[in-house]
């Protein structure tokens, strides 16, 4: 498996774990950190053909499907975090644990497994399908990169929306006594 697959995959998962695991305050920097990491890493490892995928046919449909699947999966993963309001810090908080980490790990391993399999296990079958379906290598590579970016966007978008909803509920006077009691027992980290 080439470095263009495993290095970005590992960088993504490390940055997401660093940003999200445990009790964490939801700040703008926390929301953006994985996207910034992706913006820094992807240009170094994306092929020179990135963005030059197909503009019609099956290749375009695969790129669109990869993006849509990534957005949906990122949003689903964000649902594995509990989001609440901390009345003491006047900030939204999230709690992400083992299920959240396991979901990210599964996506990362699946992406890396596909890349490895495409080179070693099912390269002939994949190549035959790509020729028969008129899918370029650039379109397939773009769809994997777009999928990875979309997972981060789905996670960030839903987490931001849930933080905003928690702030709105708090502003509307929703009871926060249970949240405040929990926070006294387990303080949040990551006030960046």
Is the alpha carbon torsion for 46, 160, 180, 77 positive or negative?
A: negative
Closest CA to 1 of 104, 105, 114: 114
Taking the C-alpha atoms of residue 155 and residue 83, their distance in angstroms, rounded to an integer, is 13
Q: What is the pLDDT along the chain (192 residues), one digit of tens a residue?
A: 566 667 777 888 888 898 899 999 999 998 988 888 778 877 766 655 555 556 678 888 998 999 999 999 999 999 999 999 988 888 999 999 999 999 999 999 998 899 889 888 999 999 999 999 988 888 888 888 888 889 989 999 999 999 999 999 888 876 544 444 344 444 455 555
Taking the C-alpha atoms of residue 60 and residue 81, their distance in angstroms, rounded to an integer, is 33
Spell out where 16-139 has E strands: 22-25, 82-86, 91-96
Taking the C-alpha atoms of residue 78 and residue 56, their distance in angstroms, rounded to an integer, is 32
Residue 190 domain flag: no
Residue 119 domain flag: yes
pLDDT at 185: 44
Report yes or no: 5 and 167 within 8 Å, Cβ to Cβ: no
Residue 82 domain flag: yes
Residue 191 domain flag: no
Could you give the number of structural domains in the chain? 1
Closest CA to 104 of 1, 17, 11, 4: 17
Residue 192 domain flag: no
Which residues form the domain of 97?
3-185
Residue showing tokens 């079958």: 125
Residue 60 C-alpha from the chain's centroid: 22
């Amino acid at each position: 498996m080439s470095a263009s697959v495993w290095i970005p995959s590992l960088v993504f998962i490390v940055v997401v774990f660093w940003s999200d695991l445990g009790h964490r305050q939801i700040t703008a920097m926390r929301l953006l950190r994985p996207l910034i990491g992706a913006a820094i890493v992807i240009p170094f490892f994306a092929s020179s053909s990135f963005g030059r995928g197909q503009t019609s046919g099956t290749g375009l449909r695969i790129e669109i499907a990869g993006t849509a699947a990534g957005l949906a999966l990122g949003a689903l993963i964000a649902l594995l975090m509990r989001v609440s309001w901390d009345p003491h810090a006047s900030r939204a908080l999230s709690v992400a644990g083992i299920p959240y980490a396991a979901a990210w790990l599964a996506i990362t391993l699946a992406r890396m497994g596909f890349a490895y399999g495409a080179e070693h296990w099912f390269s002939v079958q994949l190549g035959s399908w790509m020729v028969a379906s008129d899918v370029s290598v650039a379109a397939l590579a773009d769809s994997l990169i777009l999928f990875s970016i979309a997972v981060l966007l789905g996670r960030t978008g839903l987490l931001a929306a849930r933080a905003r909803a928690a702030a709105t509920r708090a502003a509307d006077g929703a009871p926060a006594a249970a949240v405040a009691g929990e926070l006294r027992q387990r303080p949040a980290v990551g006030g960046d």
